[in-house]
Structure 1
């Protein structure tokens, strides 16, 4: 277990990656320029989808009366597998990624797109895999079956 596992709140990781994405596009506008159509429309669509994913996940957690704190996973009192969790095991993290992608697309920056990949890699290693390990310990076969049925992100 790494010292960074489950230590940095995903929202903090999101804010850091968002800042780095914007900074990359501003500091290296010519070097990272990627001409893309419909920037504003894609940003609005990603913002809407991000909100829908996040709110749906929060609603399911509230319905199950379980913790939404990703740093204190030991406080989880129910395995949520309904609603949006039928399509992705991590809709809250996916909502953050979709918004980051929308910003990167709007900025027309391949460097910003790379930060989206960095977000996925960091979240997988330091947040999602440790969560999966703890959920497997707590829910055993029930979680393993859920893991086989539903993808971590979407793919």
Structure 2
């Protein structure tokens, strides 16, 4: 399964997951639900997710390190400030919040099952390999950071 590690850009995975969510919502309309103010709730989730992800990108760019998660060997510094004090993976947390917003907007329980699938995939094929590289490259500094800050939130 290592062939899938760090291969799919996370943004592509988000778009793929969102399209699968929509497909499920259309295919199983009987699992629809009503949530008062769902467009507003979805907007809040999406805005929060986008902000969280962009803060992560901004911190990486400020540190002069790569934003492309498929090439962790190009990391030049360990970023532990800003939003990275809350999460080791704020961009992925942001993506999860955007996908959660999409579930709320679609108002369908079938699409909800893809949220845990997204987290499982990201953990196994994106985050674990990234963390392995960071431990190798930054050693004890990364281990200390890992001990203090959670993977997601």
Q: TM-score, normalised by structure 1?
A: 0.95
Cα offset, 1:49, TM superposition: 0.3
* 1:131 match: 130
Q: Distance in 1 between matches of 2:123 and 2:33?
A: 27
> For structure 2, which runs of at least 5 residues remain unmatched after alignment?
none
Cα offset, 1:54, TM superposition: 1.4
**Greater fraction of residues in helix:** 2
* 1:93 match: 92
* 1:49 match: 48
Residue 21 (str. 1) matches residue 21 (str. 2): yes
Q: Distance in 2 between matches of 1:98 and 1:140?
A: 31
Cα offset, 1:34, TM superposition: 2.9
Q: Distance in 2 between matches of 1:107 and 1:62?
A: 34
Number of residue pairs matched by the alignment: 153
Residue 114 (str. 1) matches residue 126 (str. 2): no
* 2:103 match: 104
* 1:64 match: 63
Q: Distance in 2 between matches of 1:22 and 1:88?
A: 28
> For structure 1, which runs of at least 5 residues remain unmatched after alignment?
none
Q: For residues 49-68 of structure 1, give each alpha carbon's deviation from its aligned partner in whole angstroms, at most 9, with x where no partner exists.
A: 01211111111011100000
- Cα RMSD over matched residues? 1.0
